[in-house]
Amino acid sequence: MDNYTFTVRKKDSGWQIILSYRDSRGKWRQISKQGFTKRSQALSASVKRDLLSKMKKTANVPENMKDITLAEFYQVFAQESKKTLTYNTLKNYRITIDRVPSLAKKRMVDITYADVVHAINSLNLSASSVNLSIAKLKVLFKYAANIYHLFPVSPIRDLPYVKDRKSKKITALTQEEFSDLLECMKNEKEEYYVICAIAGYAGLRFGEIAGLTKADIDFFAGVIHVNKQYGMVARGLYKIREPKTRNSYRDVPIPQVLLNILINYLEDRRAVRMYRRIFNVRESSYVNSRIKKYYPDCSVHQLRHTYATTLLANGLDVKTVSALIGDTVAMVIKTYIHYTDAMRKKAKKDVSRIFG
């Protein structure tokens, strides 16, 4: 639930805006401003920011947190989140702090909405990189507000993400290209070939593939049980950990072609001593370097896209596809909103069939 709300009402001969907010002790308080001739003036973004700034000054900040800088607060956040966030995720927070030096050494309680806007506008990065930084900053400030009460509410809660003007299209192989790639990968280490087959025929993420054990592959039921992933948890340290999200826990059906590949691979294969994994790989870069010998613009992750777009192109509904790849329906729609050529051709045929 939000920690504050804005309301407007007629007051005397004009309009008044009221900011109701919950303080650090959980009590509701109000700040107001009046004298506006129009309702829209009272609700303007500048007026709201002015009231939020006044509200911020009333925050009951703990003594030991009054002088903490953004960079120092990140260290607190990282220490308290290391059991729930992956090494790479925390690394992205550190990268974000490095990108905004004008904020990093500033006291958290002194940082304003305008300060963050100026820092973000100075970034000469792609829209996706800028938005990643905005997302990380939002989490840090929300954590500071909710856990340590540095503010009654995060001053950048309403900071918008930047719009990417470029039209993005995910890269996926056709089934003919995928079959050709698998033939080519037979010239490489067998485990690299099998990893590519699992990514393209079952849509698993690389970390999920790297974490697979023999117990995860149910030949009788014809499914792969996805219940963990393998990856870096600290610099140079790799471990088994929980899947990426709650949706990542799933059972993925194994098509017969992949079943045959797995049977041949596991027939006399010894498990990796650590965690009994069936693949002795830690990073996708090892496999990607081999893939790029044959398809320079492809990677293991692109094979996951290939799996998803192939299912969509052949008529599977979005909800089923999202369940199979371990993502949300919203994310599948967002990622695959641009049709592949195969999906476009099928759509053309379906429209002609429906409307005649």
Question: What is the residue extent of each domain of the chain?
Answer: 4-57, 63-146, 175-355
On the CB side of 280, CA atoms within 13 Å amount to 7
Q: For residue 23, name the pLDDT band (cuts at 50, 70, 90).
A: low
Q: For residue 1, name the pLDDT band (cuts at 50, 70, 90).
A: very low
| pLDDT reading at 105 higher than 70 | yes
**Residues 229-239 pLDDT 10s:** 998 888 888 88
Q: Do domains 63-146 and 175-355 have the same CATH topology?
A: no
Task: State the architecture of 175-355 in CATH terms.
Answer: Orthogonal Bundle (1.10)
| CATH T-level topology, domain 63-146 | DNA polymerase; domain 1 (1.10.150)
- State pTM to two decimals: 0.65
**Residues 263-315 pLDDT 10s:** 999 987 776 666 789 999 999 999 999 999 999 989 999 999 999 999 988 88
**Residues 121-141 pLDDT 10s:** 999 998 889 999 999 999 999
**Are 199 and 308 spatial neighbours (Cβ–Cβ below 8 Å)?**
no
Query: d(Cα 33, Cα 26) in Å, to the nearest integer?
Result: 23
Name every residue whose Cβ is closer than 8 Å to that of residue 216 and which is 6 or more positions away in sequence: 224, 225, 226, 227
| Bridge partners of residue 107, in order along the sequence | 69
- Mapping DSSP onto H, E and C, the string for the chain reads CCCEEEEEEEECCEEEEEEEEECCCCCEEEEEEEEECCHHHHCCHHHHHHHHHHHHHCCCCCHHHCCCEHHHHHHHHHHHHCCCCCHHHHHHHHHHHHHCHHHHCCEHHHCCHHHHHHHHHCCCCCHHHHHHHHHHHHHHHHHHHHCCCCCCCCCCCCCCCCCCCCCCCCCCCCHHHHHHHHHHHCCCCHHHHHHHHHHHHHCCCHHHHHCCEHHHEECCCCEEEECCEEEEEECCEEEEECCCCHHHCEEEECCHHHHHHHHHHHCCCCCCCCCCECCCCCCHHHHHHHHCCCCCCCCHHHHHHHHHHHHHHCCCCHHHHHHHHCCCHHHHHHHCCCCCHHHHHHHHHHHHHHHC
**Residues 46-59 pLDDT 10s:** 898 888 877 766 56
| pLDDT reading at 24 higher than 60 | no
| pLDDT reading at 187 higher than 90 | yes
| pLDDT reading at 333 higher than 90 | no
The residue whose two tokens read 């995928």 is: 178
